[in-house]
Amino acid sequence: MRRATVTPPTVPSDAAAGNEWDLATTVTTAGHTEHSPGWRGKRAMDLILSGLLLILLAPVMLGVALSVALSSPGPILFCQRRPGLGGKSFLFLKFRSMYAGHEGMLTERQRKDLLENGILPKSKDDRRITPVGRFLRRTSLDELPQLVNVFLGDMSLVGPRPVLPDMLRPFPEIALARTRVRPGITGLWQVLDRGRSSTIHYMWPHDKQYIEANSFWLDLRILLATVRVVLSRKGAC
pTM: predicted TM-score of the whole model, two decimal places: 0.77
Q: What's the chain's average pLDDT?
A: 78
CA 132/CA 217 separation, integer angstroms: 36
* Amino acid present at 182: R
pLDDT band at 5 (very low <50, low <70, confident <90, very high): very low
pLDDT of residue 195: 60
pLDDT at 18 over 50: no
58 or 232, which is more confident: 58
Q: In the chain, what percentage of residues exceed pLDDT 70? A: 70
Domain boundaries, the chain: 34-232
Integer Cα distance of 96 and 148 in angstroms = 15
Query: What are the pLDDT digits (tens) for 177-208?
Result: 998 899 999 998 888 876 665 677 778 888 99
Distance CA 202, CA 12 (A): 8
pLDDT of residue 199: 76
pLDDT digits (tens, 9 = 90+) for 70-116: 999 999 999 999 999 998 999 999 999 988 876 655 656 666 666 65
Residue 27 has pLDDT above 50, yes or no: no
User: What is the number of alpha carbons within 13 Å of residue 169 lying toward its C-beta?
Assistant: 16
**pLDDT confidence tier of residue 170, bands split at 50, 70 and 90:** confident
Task: Give me the pLDDT at residue 36, please.
Answer: 57
Bridge partners (DSSP) listed for residue 83: 89
151 has a pLDDT exceeding 80: yes
